[in-house]
Chain A
């Protein structure tokens, strides 16, 4: 079974600074998807960024980028120029590539990010 581990429960960053959130995972599959989701307080979860395991290039979405290390099974999220609106819980998630019928997401425990003004 696949597992996703986020070992840091909380992090804090100064506004306009850069922060990196860590995630490791375990799978025996060679192809899969990895995601970072953002869940603001009392608001719905939204997708921040997606990485396909078969792509060597790290995904980037504006101020958000990932460092995908397939051999190490590591998938970290870097947030540049942090803004107050980035304060939220962030979840790392895994999905199998060839799913057949099942396309469920497996989530880590999440990390609470606070942004200091």
Chain B
């Protein structure tokens, strides 16, 4: 079974530029999560999707971050414009569902550096 795929693996941009990350979850997984992991901290949930609907985006800075999951499969996370404090690893995870316990499987992450 293929794991969670993410691209690109690394991205370096100047502040105020825009950037997009892509995630392909494990086949059949209805729930998709985007976490932000700042250096020295644990991952923090940005947004959770159930199929193509948003379950929780309370921690997403909506003035600059946006995410979508069209057709309930792949997802993209966009930052526009980027700030220095957005430098972090962006992790995508997926699970079969959101109800009773379903393990979350993580992708390798995208490391973003904002200069």
Contacts and interface: CB of A to CB of B under 8 A. Distances in A.
Q: Is the interface of B mostly helix, strand, loop or mixed?
A: loop
Interface string A41-64: 011111100101000000000000
Interface of A: 4, 6, 33, 42-47, 50, 52, 91, 93, 95, 99, 101-105, 107-110
A96 B107 CA distance: 22
Interface stretch (B15-23, B68-76, B78-86, B98-106): B98-106
B31 A103 contact: yes
B50 A101 contact: yes
B48 A104 contact: yes
A101 B98 contact: yes
A102 B108 contact: no
Contacts of B108: 42-44
A52 B104 CA distance: 15
A109 B55 contact: no
A109 B41 CA distance: 4
A90 to B, nearest CB: 10
A101 to B, nearest CB: 5
Given A45-B91, A47-B103, A103 B41 contact: no
B42 A102 contact: no
A106 to B, nearest CB: 8
A103 B102 CA distance: 9
Contact of A44 (B33, B44, B107): B107
Contacts of A108: 42
Given A101-B55, A104-B48, 7 more contacts: A45-B106, A46-B106, A47-B103, A102-B55, A102-B98, A103-B98, A108-B42
